[in-house]
Copies of this chain bind each other. A is one copy, B any other.
């Protein structure tokens, strides 16, 4: 099970991914040809096909990696204690996440285009669903006698997160991860959670 991967394979894959990310900054996904990627990565076009099924496959694999970083952070702490949401923990988690994004700003900027958004969103939703369900499952939120489904809450919260990320990587700003986290917590914590009737623990 522990066969070491050939150095050449690792090197080539790395170069392909870097080439693609670099190209993403200059042109749209659809405009990038395999030949261009191969040229930029300084490999033969056929070699590309030895590693990736097609352009979409390359894209998926890149996305997969970046999502994993988030998943690891999210798995570390429990946000819920009884029926109370731990805001401080939430803030810590957010700070870490914004840190990862900040450190890889050019990367996230290049992959957070239109194409990524929908897939990114979908993967994030899958990732966040359990977290949110944990918080909201015992809560019946109603609006004019119509129950507000968890689906909606998750979409809503994910949108906020995505919007924040989008702004962070695409606009000039001097916000550090810490400030971002605090700001989002302030908006979501003081705003939404109380509106939705969630108990809050600020320590």
Contact = CB atoms under 8 A, between A and B. Distances in A.
A133 interface: no
A153 B164 CA distance: 9
Contacts of A148: 183
Nearest to A151: B171
Contact of A160 (B115, B163, B166, B195): B163
A155 interface: yes
Contacts of A194: 191
Contacts of A118: 113-115, 117
A164 to B, nearest CB: 7
Q: How large is the interface on A (under 10, 10 to 19, 20 to 34, 35 or more residues)?
A: 35 or more
A192 interface: yes
A143 B113 CA distance: 28
A191 B197 CA distance: 11
Interface string A133-174: 000000000011010110110011011101110110001011
A61 interface: no
A190 interface: yes
Contacts of A119: 114
A156 B160 contact: yes
A30 interface: yes
Nearest to A196: B187
B146 A156 contact: no
15 contacts: A113-B118, A114-B117, A115-B118, A143-B179, A143-B186, A144-B179, A152-B167, A152-B171, A155-B163, A159-B166, A160-B160, A162-B163, A187-B195, A191-B191, A191-B195
